[in-house]
């Protein structure tokens, strides 16, 4: 697929769209909405898994840096360690074949194995301002300089767990910003379009694409998402899963999920292996099957 002009909106595809087609749209626009990425039943069960933890959380950031605290959101709740908190997440959502096909196709080709950098609930409450526009690759700063020609260093599946409307804080995206010459340019709110979605849909986007949570202008609606994102195995992830997830839970996971969480070694292209024990596979050292 080729592009000549900057797209003005986000395209939507069904979840049975060929992988190559989904990735071609992401390469062109920077992101795509995958309709019915999860079933209604998965949405309901996941929400039930985390509802109590969400209730116990206070909104707003605990970070002492003001810019980072603003980024986290004044009336936003962020819940991490979903692997431990949600059986639906650790046995189904994280092991979704579509996710693995899209990540395999991107990362295995460009840079070898990948792992999960974070999976977190982001619930934007009434009165929360729009988040600062950013590219997710800014967590690994040298890739800002490499810009559009650098490798893909983070793929994000932002899954809607409530309906996303323009009023309740649907994620704002700048389609085509993955092709800009200068990644220090993060655009303006006027350049953005809202990722309006039904619960169960997912915004699948590149780390090169400018986006941010939308402002919640409603009186009493909460917009719940899960940001579910992956790095190549040569980068450090956001959440230190081997220290968060009990070994007993880790043993119950599929081998590919164990690798995604750092219970197995990483094999970036050109490397004999990373995250090893005495140059051998970590999974063997831990006595994991398979
Ligand atoms: O909540 C959203 O819609 C986007 C959040 C986001 O982009 C982030 O925290 O990196
Ligand atoms: Fe982001």
Name the token pair of 170: 């649907």
d(CA 259, CA 230): 12
Does ligand 1 lie within 6 Å of residue 123's CB atom? no
Structural domain spans, the chain: 12-285
Look up the CATH superfamily of 12-285.
Answer: q2cbj1_9rhob like domain (2.60.120.620)
231 phi and psi angles, rounded to 5 deg:
-115, 155
CA 271 / ligand 1 centre spacing (Å): 32
Confidence at residue 1, expressed as pLDDT on a 0 to 100 scale:
38
List the residue whose alpha carbon is closest to atom 6 of ligand 1: 212
Confidence at residue 61, expressed as pLDDT on a 0 to 100 scale:
87
pLDDT string in tens for the chain (290-residue length): 334 445 678 999 999 999 999 999 999 999 999 999 999 999 999 999 999 999 999 999 889 999 999 899 889 999 999 999 999 999 999 999 999 999 999 999 889 999 999 999 999 999 999 999 999 999 999 999 999 999 999 999 999 999 999 999 999 999 999 999 999 999 999 999 999 999 999 999 999 999 999 999 999 999 999 999 999 999 999 999 999 999 999 999 999 999 999 999 999 999 999 999 999 999 999 999 87
CA 212 / ligand 2 centre spacing (Å): 6
Confidence at residue 6, expressed as pLDDT on a 0 to 100 scale:
55
Does ligand 1 lie within 6 Å of residue 207's CB atom? no
Q: Which parts of 91-210 are beta strand (E)?
A: 114-124, 155-160, 172-173, 193-194, 202-206
d(CA 11, CA 176): 12
CA 131 / ligand 1 centre spacing (Å): 7
CA 125 / ligand 1 centre spacing (Å): 13
Confidence at residue 165, expressed as pLDDT on a 0 to 100 scale:
98
Confidence at residue 2, expressed as pLDDT on a 0 to 100 scale:
39
List the residue whose alpha carbon is closest to atom 7 of ligand 1: 212
Pairing state of beta strands 12-14 and 31-35? Answer: parallel
Does ligand 1 lie within 6 Å of residue 211's CB atom? yes
Give the pLDDT confidence of 61-80 residue by residue, as tens digits. Answer: 889 999 999 899 889 999 99
pTM over 0.85: yes
* Local structure of residue 198 (DSSP, 8 states): -
CA 132 / ligand 1 centre spacing (Å): 9
List the residue whose alpha carbon is closest to atom 5 of ligand 1: 213
Ligand nearest to the CA of 120: 1
Does ligand 1 lie within 6 Å of residue 213's CB atom? yes
CA 79 / ligand 2 centre spacing (Å): 15
Q: 3-class SS at 279?
A: coil
List the residue whose alpha carbon is closest to atom 4 of ligand 1: 213
Does ligand 1 lie within 6 Å of residue 137's CB atom? no
d(CA 287, CA 290): 10
Sign of CA dihedral 235, 239, 244, 246: negative
Confidence at residue 7, expressed as pLDDT on a 0 to 100 scale:
60
Q: Which parts of the chain are beta strand (E)?
A: 12-14, 31-35, 76-79, 114-124, 155-160, 172-173, 193-194, 202-206, 211-212, 223-232
Does ligand 1 lie within 6 Å of residue 201's CB atom? no
Which atom of ligand 1 is closest in space to residue 172's alpha carbon?
A: 3
């Amino acid at each position: 697929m080729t592009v000549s002009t900057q797209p003005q909106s986000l395209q939507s595809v069904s979840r049975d769209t060929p992988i190559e087609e989904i990735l071609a749209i992401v390469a062109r626009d920077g992101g795509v909405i995958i309709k019915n990425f999860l079933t209604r039943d998965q949405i309901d069960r996941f929400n039930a898994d985390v509802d109590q933890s969400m209730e116990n959380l206070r909104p707003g950031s605990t970070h002492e840096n003001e810019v980072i605290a603003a980024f986290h959101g004044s009336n936003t709740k962020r819940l991490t360690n979903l692997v431990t908190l949600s059986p639906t997440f650790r046995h189904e959502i994280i092991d979704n074949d579509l996710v693995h096909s899209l990540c395999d196709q991107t990362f295995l080709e460009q840079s070898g194995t990948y792992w999960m950098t974070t999976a977190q609930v982001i619930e934007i409450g009434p009165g929360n301002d729009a988040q600062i526009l950013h590219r997710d690759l800014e967590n690994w700063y040298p890739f800002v300089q490499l810009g559009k020609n650098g490798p893909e260093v983070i793929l994000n599946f932002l899954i809607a767990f409530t309906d996303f409307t323009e009023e309740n804080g649907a994620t704002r995206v700048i389609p085509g910003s993955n092709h800009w010459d200068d990644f220090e340019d993060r655009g303006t709110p006027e350049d953005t379009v809202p990722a309006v979605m039904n619960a169960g849909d997912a915004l699948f986007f590149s780390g090169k694409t400018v986006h941010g949570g939308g402002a919640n202008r409603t009186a009493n609606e909460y917009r719940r998402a899960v940001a579910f994102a992956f790095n190549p195995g040569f980068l450090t992830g956001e959440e230190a899963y081997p220290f968060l997830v009990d070994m007993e839970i880790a043993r119950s996971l599929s081998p590919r999920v164990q690798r995604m969480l750092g219970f197995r070694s990483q094999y970036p292209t050109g490397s004999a292996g990373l995250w090893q024990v005495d140059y051998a596979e970590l999974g063997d050292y831990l006595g994991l099957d398979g």
